Amino acid sequence: AQSVSQHNHHVILSEAASLELGCNYSYGGTVNLFWYVQYPGQHLQLLLKYFSGDPLVKGIKGFEAEFIKSKFSFNLRKPSVQWSDTAEYFCAVNRYGGSQGNLIFGKGTKLSVKP
Amino acid sequence: NAGVTQTPKFRILKIGQSMTLQCTQDMNHNYMYWYRQDPGMGLKLIYYSVGAGITDKGEVPNGYNVSRSTTEDFPLRLELAAPSQTSVYFCASSSGLEKLFFGSGTQLSVL
């Protein structure tokens, strides 16, 4: 079965530190990849997505992610985090051409940024 | 523009009670979804719909029912509430797979 693994449950960083959150998926075919973010007290919102083309995608608020097909990975990065980046981050995968409802989420990574 | 609206925001149920979680979207999206989010477990898809009159099971449909009589509304029904259904429930909608728009969630406790 298709699955998504996020390696870190909770990451704690100081402001200005660099961030990399890991995401690996298990499906071997063509996939669509997403990162969603949930700020405290808010609903989930799309951070960035990859469908095809340049494997380095840029999202909102300075976030980027790199799709490495050979590693089945879609890691999220930010060069310098801010306190306002404190949130829970979810990686999600959809099998290309699959059912619209077949969006599989990882378990999430909580990011705490210390001021 | 309200987006995706869920009601209620909080609810406590006794075991065996039933209730309906309401979800309405005003973006004329064809696709609607119900997810549950358990601590440390991410989001699991319960049911989804690709248009009015069409629904399908997701990953964890047992104990739930849905209907989609209109494009705007996608209610989720719990018939016999069980403690295992204690969770946060999110409704979402989309026009395709480009982006899901989520509601603010319903926190449900079954005691």
Per residue in A66-97, pLDDT tens? 999 999 999 999 999 999 999 999 999 987 65
Q: Nearest Cα to B15, choosing from B111, B95, B86, B105? A: B111
Q: What is the pLDDT of residue A86?
A: 97
pLDDT score for A82: 97
Q: According to the model, what pLDDT value does residue A97 have?
A: 58
Does A99 contact B at CB distance below 8 Å? yes
In DSSP terms, which residues pair with B107 in a beta bridge? B10, B88
For residues A92 and A3, the answer to whether their CB atoms sit within 8 Å is no
A29 phi and psi angles, rounded to 5 deg:
-90, -165
- Tell me the C-alpha distance between B107 and A34, whole Å: 25
Confidence of residue A41 (pLDDT cuts 50, 70, 90): confident
CA distance B110 to B81: 7
For residues B15 and B110, the answer to whether their CB atoms sit within 8 Å is yes
Q: What are phi and psi of B85, to 5 degrees?
A: -95, 5
Which residue type sits at B51?
A: G
How far from B17 is each of A29, B20, B45, B88, CA to CA, in Å?
43, 11, 22, 17
Q: Which of A97, A110, A61, A100 is closest to B33 using CA atoms?
A: A100
Confidence of residue A3 (pLDDT cuts 50, 70, 90): confident
pLDDT reported for residue A96? 61
CA proximity to B37, closest of B105, B97, B99, B96: B105
| pLDDT < 70 positions in chain B | 1, 97
Span A52-64, pLDDT tens digits: 899 999 999 999 9
> Distance between CA B13 and CA A6 in Å, rounded?
33
Cβ pair B42:A107 closer than 8 A:
yes
Nearest residue of A to residue B5, measured between CA atoms: A43
Distance CA B70, CA A20 (A): 42
* Chain CA centroid to CA B36, Å: 7
CB–CB contact B42 A49 (8 Å): no
> Within an 8 Å CB–CB cutoff, is residue A59 touching chain B?
no
Residue whose pair of structure tokens reads 């406590």 in the numeric block: B12
Predicted confidence at residue A42, as pLDDT, reads: 87
Mean model confidence pLDDT for chain A: 90
Asked if pLDDT for residue A37 goes beyond 70, the answer is yes
Alpha-carbon gap: B38 to the closest alpha carbon of chain A (Å): 9
Q: Which residues of A touch B29 (CB under 8 A)?
A: none
